[in-house]
A and B are shown apart, each in its own frame.
Chain A
Amino acid sequence: MRRFNIPHNFELITIIELYAQWIREGKLVVNSDWNRDLGVKFTVQDPCNIARKSGSNKIVDDLRFVIKTVVGEENFIDTVPSHDNNFCCGGGGGALQAGFPDQRRAFGKIKFNQIMATKASYVIAPCHNCHGQIEDIGEHFGGEYHVVHLWTIIALAMGMLAETERAYLGPDLAEFGL
């Protein structure tokens, strides 16, 4: 809209900012009790569009606030680098469909190494391109991690994740809380 100067009456916001707002307001009641004994470790991907290209760290700070609330601060391991200086996963800009898989995976090796260094067993990817790419490089380079949507973990923590909604969870959480 900004690019083409298209006027509009609505406010554009991300679901991540709303999750954070709802948690702060007490509307979204969720905590990390479920993970206190389990200690499942999570890391995150900063999608370029909501991190570096949004012009501030606001959204990705909200993202971390939500994740820490839901999995426990001690169970969140950030990548290095992170936030607006994080690496692109290599799946963006159309790369997933550009037809150069070898180059796309070589690009993604940097992201893969970053994730492996966190030793986290789950990567939260709040963008579909990132999700697809990080899963693909995980399989290709032999990573043991699982890639999940943020809503999956929020719903899991709230005890409302049905059996059919667990396609991306690993065996450790596949039946947890059912």
Chain B
Amino acid sequence: MAEAIKVDDLDTELKEDVLYKVPQGNYDLCLTCGTCTGGCPASEQFEMDPRKLIRMINLGMDEQIKQSNWIWVCSMCARCVFACPMNVDIPKLIYNLRQKVPREKRPRGILGSCDQHIRTGSAMGAAKEDFEFTVLDVAEEIRDTHPGFEDLEVSVDRAGAHMALNQNSREPVTEPEEMGPLWKILHKVEADWTYPSVMWAGENYCMFMADNEGWKYIIEEFVYHIDNNLKCKQVVNTE
């Protein structure tokens, strides 16, 4: 006959550790109802699902959890906790599990993008000089060749502009023409806007990598630039 699991004897180091950082995680409250799993598109990938993960962490199966790459398939979309009757915070668990992986062992693509962002201000590694050159160059072309937009204004670091816009680095780096329609709309409404040169990119892979230090550095640099150098009243997220 199978032996009953003695809950009090379980070594649940990983759970205690995450709960210390996420006191509202509620991992002990899971009713195993499976609502999370029923609505999770990542269920069954790598033979894992949210309910199973919570079971495993509650049973102290720390080594098996650490061996699973499921934490990189889950997108932390939060549909599970949104539906959970006990408010078990699975996305925050995933974030903390990602953090447990040694930095250099996290997925290379995400790591590279995070490091590029810290170094240059964008995940695709375009430095602010390249960004400024591309933006001004595309704007010049629109003024020259798109009738009705001869006086289109596009600027980088124009202090005192009302709005500062971020821009996903995919545009200036791989499809600069895609910025044109946005600028034309801003031109039509006579928006008073500029691009910041510091941490100008809209994406943030350090957040995906669970690199708190990198994430925080990017935001701090950005906020300092906006508040002290540009003094914009609004920051506009373009995605």
Chain A positions within 8 Å of B, measured between CB atoms, are 1, 3-4, 6, 8-15, 18-19, 22, 27-29, 47-48, 52-53, 84-85, 87-88, 90-100, 103-104, 106-111, 126-129, 132, 149, 151-152, 154-155, 158, 160-162, 164-165, 167
- CB <8 Å contact, A103 and B46: yes
- CB <8 Å contact, B73 and A103: yes
20 CB-based A-B contacts, threshold 8 Å: A4-B215, A10-B235, A14-B236, A27-B190, A28-B185, A48-B79, A85-B82, A87-B77, A88-B77, A95-B75, A96-B109, A98-B107, A98-B110, A99-B72, A99-B108, A103-B46, A128-B168, A160-B146, A162-B142, A165-B178
Taking A1-B223, A27-B189 as contacts, is the C-beta distance between A95 and B73 under 8 angstroms? yes
Q: How far is the CB of A152 from chain B (nearest CB, A)?
A: 6
Q: Complex: how many Å from CA A165 to CA B146?
A: 11
Chain B positions within 8 Å of A, measured between CB atoms, are 41-42, 44-46, 69, 72-79, 82, 107-110, 112-113, 142, 145-146, 148-149, 164-165, 168, 170, 175, 177-178, 180-182, 184-185, 188-190, 202-203, 205, 208-209, 215-216, 219-220, 223, 226-227, 231-239
Taking A13-B236, A149-B181, A164-B180 as contacts, is the C-beta distance between A97 and B77 under 8 angstroms? no
Interface centre among B44, B79, B168, B220 (most CB of A within 10 A): B79
Point out the residues of chain B lying under 8 angstroms from A126, CB to CB.
Answer: 239
- CB <8 Å contact, A160 and B107: no
Q: Count A/B pairs, Cβ under 8 Å.
A: 178
- CB <8 Å contact, A93 and B74: yes
Q: How far is the CB of B34 from chain A (nearest CB, A)?
A: 17
- Which of A3, A28, A111, A151 has a CB less than 8 Å from the CB of B41? A111
